[in-house]
Structure 1
Amino acid sequence: MARINLNTPDIMDAKEASIIWGHAENYVRRTYQQNPDKFPNGSIRKFGKQWIVTTEGMEAITGTKDPRKQNND
């Protein structure tokens, strides 16, 4: 079984991800409801009431690289 590092900044809650990418707090949830196929397989999941999304998922739906990493390139 693959080991998953839950401490990585590449996994975040949907609200936090939406804000990081400069969108409204409900952006990820709304985008998933309207077009779930935009998210690569395994890049978003709901745990109870909490939506979790990966950097890969955010980059796929926004077309923008991770803003946290752009200044470091």
Structure 2
Amino acid sequence: MDRIDLNSPDIMDAREAANIWGKNDSYVRTFYKQNPDKFPDGSIRKFGRAWVVTTEGMEAITGIKDPRKNN
């Protein structure tokens, strides 16, 4: 099994991800409920009440590369 680095900036909660991509706080949850197949396998998961999403997942659903990497 591959080691997962939970300190990676490519793993974030849904609210943080939405804010980074300039979307409203509920964007990721709403998008997932309507289009779960748009997320690449393993790019989103719910832990208890918290949704966790990867940069790959956000790029897939928004069509926008990570805004933090535009420098």
Give the TM interval when normalised to the shorter protein: over 0.9
Amino acid corresponding to residue 67 of structure 2 in structure 1: P
**RMSD, matched Cα:** 0.4
TM-score after normalising by structure 2: 0.99
Query: 1:10-32, CA deviations, whole angstroms, 9 ceiling, x for partnerless residues?
Result: 00000000000000000000000
Q: Where do 5+ consecutive residues of structure 2 fail to align? A: none
Amino acid corresponding to residue 15 of structure 2 in structure 1: K
List, as ranges, runs of 4+ consecutive aligned residues in structure 1 with deviation greater than 2 Å. Answer: none
Q: 1:16 — aligned with what?
A: 16
Amino acid corresponding to residue 18 of structure 1 in structure 2: A
Tell me by how many angstroms 1:57 deviates: 0.0
TM-score after normalising by structure 1: 0.96
- Secondary structure class of the residue paired with 2:46: strand
- Secondary structure class of the residue paired with 1:58: helix
Tell me by how many angstroms 1:8 deviates: 0.3
- 1:33 paired with 2:33, answer yes
Q: Where do 5+ consecutive residues of structure 1 fail to align? A: none
Tell me by how many angstroms 1:63 deviates: 0.1
